[in-house]
Amino acid sequence: MMLRVEGVTFAYRSVPVLDGVDFSVGPGEFLAVLGNNGAGKSTLLRCITRIVRPHTGAVYLDERDVHALGSSERARNVGYVPQRTEASHMTVYDAVLVGRTPHITWDASHEDHHVVERVLAELGLEGLAMRPIDELSGGELQKTVIARALAQEPRVLLLDEPTSSLDLRNQLDVLATVKRVTSAQGVAVIAVMHDLNLALRFADRFCFLADGRVHACGGPEVVTSENVSHVYGVPVSVTSVGDVPLVVPLASSS
């Protein structure tokens, strides 16, 4: 399986947001999309998941345009976790079962319940299965939303700022869980991230957006002080602590 973004251009009310974006991601890869606020990162995910249609260019899943897929087929192939999720009094179990909707014809089958139980176990949520999601902590809620997306058994998982509003422990826990589960299942992950150091810790590949265009895309070799400084407008040093790579700002933009 290969997801390919080819020449995607998009504008809001004639204001350019994306301009000829190209990249691809394969099974089991974790691609971090990086760049300043307003660089077009979230809009890019919306183009991939078909919330909005690119003005030009296309997104292909195994050479098929995702905009040509039916809603159910798209939902079976692409999971999406937005920046913000509204909590409700639904239980964690039922919230994750909602992710099986693309696979359910009349009623949830034994297989659907098996998938939910497996995903809850993979994310360490078994003990919270009957708890209403409006009583969860931020980290627990984020894991539940990711579990719902994984219950779709997608081939591509899109995450829009998956660690926003989480404390350090939950940031590490959520990303480590996503990395472990998706790598084991061969799911391609595309995650919009603001924290460069979290991206360096968990992602395999990196796509830097600047002014709606791809400035650099590739493996760890593209995370250079030159590229980061150009994209963010702040001089940085790329170093490491032990075997963990680290981006250190050297001065403010002023």
The residue assigned the tokens 């994984």 is 150
Query: Measured over all CA atoms, what is the biggest interatomic distance in the chain, rounded to whole angstroms?
Result: 60
Residue 252, pLDDT > 80, answer no
Q: Which of 12-16, 118-122, 199-203, 223-227 has the lowest mean pLDDT?
A: 12-16
Q: pTM of the full predicted structure? A: 0.90
Give the span between the Cα atoms of 37 and 124, in whole angstroms.
32
Q: What is the DSSP letter of 132?
A: B
Which residues, 6 or more positions from 138, have their beta carbon under 8 angstroms from its beta carbon? 165, 166, 167, 170
Residue pair 146/123 in contact by the 8 Å Cβ criterion: yes
pLDDT value of residue 87? 67
Query: Which runs of consecutive H residues, i.e. helices, occur in the chain?
Result: 41-49, 71-77, 92-97, 110-122, 138-151, 168-185, 196-202, 225-232
- Domains in the chain with CATH codes: 3-86+153-249 (3.40.50.300)
The rounded percent of the chain whose pLDDT value lies above 70 is 97
Residue 251, pLDDT > 80, answer no
The tokens describing 204, both together, are 């395999």
Amino acid residing at 137: S
Give the span between the Cα atoms of 64 and 74, in whole angstroms.
11
The predicted-structure confidence for 143-191, as pLDDT tens digits, reads as follows 899 899 999 999 999 999 988 878 888 889 889 988 988 898 899 999 9
**62-80 mean pLDDT:** 87
pLDDT value of residue 138? 82
